[in-house]
Amino acid sequence: MLSDREREALREVERRILDEDPGFARAFEARARRLPRGSAGRVGATFLLVVGVLLSAVVVLAGSWGIALALALAIALAWLVLRFEDAGPPRWPA
């Protein structure tokens, strides 16, 4: 995590780049929009979901309903985090 001072220094560098060469910054934004987003995250989230469901089923067959429920909830929460991680943090105006 960046400190407040580091964030401010980063913002200042971004401002200088935008002021000195706006075309340079726009080229990066255009490339970032063309990049595929989330395909690896979706595969990982799906894999996590399948493994979690199978593991929960094994625990249920072993007779431990409470542990199976806790495991299913933990897997569902992790899956949601991975699914929505693709969106990234909200972009605040500079």
pLDDT at residue 34 above 70? no
Q: How far is CA 46 from CA 40, 51, 52, 89, in A?
A: 10, 9, 10, 22
pLDDT digits (tens, 9 = 90+) for 52-75: 888 888 888 998 888 888 888 888
What does pTM read for this prediction? 0.43
Query: Which residue, among 38, 40, 74, 36, has the nearest Cα to 56 in the 3D structure?
Result: 74
Mean of the per-residue pLDDT values of the chain: 76
Give the mean model confidence (pLDDT) for residues 39-45. Answer: 64
Give the model's pLDDT for residue 27.
Answer: 74
pLDDT at residue 86 above 60? no
- DSSP secondary structure code for residue 46 in this structure: H
